[in-house]
């Protein structure tokens, strides 16, 4: 498959701490997108990072992309209870569709 695993599969941290999630892929990408999914709900788009970009920020979110290692990370700073959700990376390999990773389940402990 083109898409590798995300790690960790599950992460529990105290409110206020930073959370880092990683995503790997196997072939060259056009862009990589991060999504959040609250339990049983829809997918909320967080950030898109293109293959020629190395870092992108949006509020408390920071995404990095290392195309030499075929990996990306999502950092959430100063976590809040409302950040509890599953986080997915999804890669676009130059066609239309997105290929999703397995996701990281993040739990923020108040």
The residues binding another protein (CB under 8 A) are 30-31, 33, 35, 40-45, 48, 88, 90, 92, 94-103
> Of the two residues 44 and 78, which places its CB atom closer to another protein in the complex?
44
Q: How far is the CB of 80 from another protein (least distance, A)?
A: 21
Quickly count helices (H) and strands (E) in the chain.
Answer: 0, 11
Q: Are 22 and 62 in contact (CB under 8 A)?
A: no
Using the minimum distance from each CB to another protein, give the nearer residue, 35 or 79.
Answer: 35
Least distance in angstroms from the C-beta of 57 to another protein: 16
CB 4 within 8 A of CB 99: no
CB of 26 to another protein, least distance (A): 15
Tell the residue number behind the tokens 């209870």, with chain if given.
Answer: 81
- Judged by CB, which is closer to another protein: 33, or 79? 33
Tell me the torsion sign for CA atoms 27, 106, 21, 11: negative
């Amino acid at each position: 498959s083109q898409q590798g695993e995300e790690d960790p599969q599950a992460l529990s941290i105290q409110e206020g701490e930073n959370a880092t999630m990683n995503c790997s892929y196997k072939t060259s990408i056009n862009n990589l997108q991060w999504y959040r999914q609250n339990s049983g709900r829809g997918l909320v788009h967080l950030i898109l990072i293109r293959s020629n970009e190395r870092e992108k920020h949006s509020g408390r979110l920071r995404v990095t992309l290392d195309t030499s290692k075929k990996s990306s990370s999502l950092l959430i700073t100063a976590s809040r209870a409302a950040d509890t959700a599953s986080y997915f990376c999804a890669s676009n390999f130059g066609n239309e569709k997105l290929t999703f990773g397995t996701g990281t389940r993040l739990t923020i402990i108040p």
